[in-house]
Amino acid sequence: MNRSRIPAATAWRVFAAVVALVAVGCTSPASQPAAQPPGERTANVTITTLPSHLWVVPEGVYADMASTPPDGHANTQNLTWLMHLVIKSKESVPLTIDAVDVRFARAGQTVWEEQYPRSYLQRLEWIKGDFDMTPEYYLTKVMHGTEQPGTPEVPPNGSVSWVRIPFARPWFARADSLEFRFHFTDPQKQASSFTHTIPIGEYQQKTKLRLPFSGVWVVDAGNDLSTGHRRSGLNGLTSYGWDFVKLGPDGLPFRTNGKKPEDFYTYGAPVLAAAGGTVVDVRNDMPAYAVGEAPAADMIRKDGDIFTGNLVTIDHGNGEYTLLCHMLAGSIRVKVGDRVKAGQLVGRVGNSGFASIPHIHLNLMTGPKWLQAKGLPALFSDFEHIVTGGAPQKIALGNPITGWFIRPVS
């Protein structure tokens, strides 16, 4: 999902703690105004966050000292955030966003602060109107349309969205709240401001996950800040997903030119359960698409599973479910109600759904039906990161980053 072609085998040198955004709903509650500086009024605006919650996820436990990077810490190195803000105005005149102050805090104490002047804000990503993470928005604005670029101005009785806001900070800068203070001026140069505060919780993953394949594969798209998964986050689900592609003995993903799905080493490869549990959802009837081909929008509106293609969803019995999708029609070996074990064959890779190229998409999520569920940040256990010119990094628990060559350790 949220496809891009295989990137170069480069990745963050960061391996650490990830702060991920989990969509519990489509929007967060409207902000409440905070105390204003003397003589400055509160702007008549509301601000919502997408996804609506931020969660802290500890990450990066190396299996031995030899695998720990020389600049690494024992357990954590980095924190990342990516979010979207929708700013709606009830003012009768346009508002110019002159500056934004950002404050990260823990237990009410400031951890760090940033100030963004207008000259900086103008270089960031804004779109006109309301950004959303629904399938319909994805269909009309991403798959079969474009988002209309905007600027840091809020139209009268209208809205603008500041989208794909990235943060990356050291692991020790863990915070439990994030505050945005917007400073506005109107055409008469009257100043106003508005404060939007977002709580940051800590999500504790319950299910031990293994990689859903054997051998060496590449992370074609993970959930790091640069990926379509994090930047679009279809339905608040794919923000935390991975796309995995198998490599051949020559290190390439396809045998000849990659023009047909069957040319990819991934096509027909076994898909393995990432953890034990009970099968609660299966689709096994959808044909493959050509490489780079996307399903028609009307087809997806009639059957939302066409996004995912053939799929298996497993309930792990603790409020967590895994989705495995884009499989080959007729290849799925399990049915609803079956008990499966970690590493068990459940199907084979195809190119069904919105896949573009054959790959395994995996998500941890909150419910049995992906169109209603929300994504959860997750980490995999016991795998190796293959490093060019060096020994593999043995990872006890971690987040495979886009471009990494990885293999499970069984």
Q: What is the mean pLDDT of residues 109-124?
A: 95
pLDDT for 12 equals: 28
User: What are the residues whose beta carbons fall under 8 Å from the beta carbon of 143, sequence distance 6 or more?
Assistant: 294, 297, 354
pLDDT band at 239 (very low <50, low <70, confident <90, very high): confident
Indicate if the pLDDT at residue 403 is higher than 80. yes
The residue to which tokens 């979207």 are assigned: 84
Indicate if the pLDDT at residue 15 is higher than 80. no
Measured from the Cβ of residue 378, the count of other Cβ atoms closer than 10 Å reads: 26
- What are the counts of helices (DSSP H) followed by strands (DSSP E) for the chain? 4, 26
pLDDT for 78 equals: 59
Q: Give tens-digit pLDDT for 258-286.
A: 999 999 999 999 999 999 999 999 999 99
CA distances from 241 to 90, 155, 304 (A): 37, 35, 18
Question: What whole-number distance in Å separates Cα of residue 180 and Cα of residue 23?
Answer: 19
Indicate if the pLDDT at residue 173 is higher than 80. no
pLDDT band at 77 (very low <50, low <70, confident <90, very high): very low
Q: Two tokens at 402? A: 């886009």
Question: What whole-number distance in Å separates Cα of residue 270 and Cα of residue 253?
Answer: 15
Length of the chain: 410
Indicate if the pLDDT at residue 18 is higher than 60. no
Q: What is the mean pLDDT of residues 246-257?
A: 92
Indicate if the pLDDT at residue 75 is higher than 60. no
pLDDT for 263 equals: 96
Q: Between these two residues, 66 and 364, which has the higher pLDDT value?
A: 364
Q: What is the mean pLDDT of residues 313-339?
A: 97
Indicate if the pLDDT at residue 253 is higher than 90. yes
pLDDT band at 67 (very low <50, low <70, confident <90, very high): low
Instruction: Report cis status (omega within 30 of 0) of the bond before 149.
Output: no
Q: Two tokens at 194? A: 């508005």
Q: Between these two residues, 296 and 67, which has the higher pLDDT value?
A: 296
Mean pLDDT of the chain: 85
Could you give the percent of the chain with pLDDT greater than 90?
57
Sign of CA dihedral 326, 332, 337, 339: negative
Indicate if the pLDDT at residue 5 is higher than 60. no
Judge whether 95 and 186 are in contact, CB under 8 Å. Answer: yes
pLDDT for 63 equals: 64
Q: Two tokens at 270? A: 């076994």
Sign of CA dihedral 378, 321, 245, 371: negative
Domain boundaries, the chain: 18-202, 217-408
Q: State the pairing for strand pair 191-202/217-221.
A: unpaired
pLDDT for 61 equals: 61
pLDDT for 231 equals: 79
Assigned CATH class of 217-408: mainly beta
φ and ψ at 231, to 5 degrees?
-80, -25
Indicate if the pLDDT at residue 131 is higher than 90. yes
pLDDT band at 64 (very low <50, low <70, confident <90, very high): low
Question: What whole-number distance in Å separates Cα of residue 199 and Cα of residue 105?
Answer: 10
Indicate if the pLDDT at residue 361 is higher than 90. yes
Q: Answer left, alpha or beta for residue 201, where phi above 0 means left and psi between -120 and 50 means alpha.
A: beta
Q: Give tens-digit pLDDT for 293-306.
A: 888 888 888 898 88
Q: What is the mean pLDDT of residues 352-363?
A: 94
pLDDT band at 38 (very low <50, low <70, confident <90, very high): low
Q: Give tens-digit pLDDT for 187-222.
A: 999 999 999 999 987 778 999 999 999 999 999 998
Q: What is the mean pLDDT of residues 331-335?
A: 98
Q: What is the mean pLDDT of residues 170-186?
A: 88
DSSP state of 65: G
pLDDT band at 71 (very low <50, low <70, confident <90, very high): very low
Judge whether 314 and 153 are in contact, CB under 8 Å. Answer: no
Measured from the Cβ of residue 401, the count of other Cβ atoms closer than 10 Å reads: 22
pTM exceeding 0.75: yes
Indicate if the pLDDT at residue 308 is higher than 70. yes
pLDDT for 201 equals: 78
Could you give the percent of the chain with pLDDT greater than 70?
83
Judge whether 154 and 160 are in contact, CB under 8 Å. Answer: yes
Sheet arrangement for strand 78-89: 45-50, 78-89, 159-170, 126-128
pLDDT for 59 equals: 53
Q: Between these two residues, 108 and 76, which has the higher pLDDT value?
A: 108
